[in-house]
Amino acid sequence: MAKHIVATVDEIPPGGRKLVELSGRHIGIFNIDGEFFALRNRCPHQGGPLCEGKLSGLVQSDRPGQYDYSRPGEILRCPWHGWEFDIKTGQSWVDPAKTRVRNYPVTLESGPELEPEEAAGNTGWVKGPYIAETYSVSVEQQYVVVQLT
Ligand code: FES
């Protein structure tokens, strides 16, 4: 299972999202009230960019003219044909028995503050011959980490 740092925690505020590419897979990372979730950015209907869709809530109705609206910001609507998915589980609300979008485990991990290039493991820097006297300083940062399975 490969772990990837995809963002600092404060980079994706509640209600926000970030789209990333990990090992050739396009993935959307969502923050719902401080909890993070990762979904594949490929709609199981016809391959639309699901994670670019609008956020909404769950609308349920027992009879015409009456409805309940709940879980605002937790349902993702595909921009191509409007199929809706639960961000927390990847479950479809169009065809709940059979259709879901791939989701990935997300954890929050603490570590020293990294430059974005360092976090990606690619600085492109070359060391010079001189070394200055240094003192250890530790700045802790919380990172959003996605596990690809
Ligand atoms: S491609 Fe997403 S609803 Fe059709």
CA-based torsion, 72, 74, 79, 85: positive or negative: negative
Q: Profile the chain (149 residues) by mean pLDDT over runs of 10 residues.
A: 89 95 94 95 95 94 92 95 94 83 92 64 64 70 88
Q: Which two tokens stand for residue 128?
A: 């010079």
Torsion, Cα 121 12 138 117, to 10 degrees, reads 20
Q: Rounded to the nearest whole angstrom, what is the distance from the C-alpha of residue 46 to the centroid of ligand 1?
A: 5
Measured in degrees and rounded to the nearest 5, phi and psi for residue 39 equal: -125, 150
Q: Rounded to the nearest whole angstrom, what is the distance from the C-alpha of residue 147 to the centroid of ligand 1?
A: 25
Amino acid at 99: T
Using a 6 Å cutoff on CB, does residue 89 contact ligand 1?
no
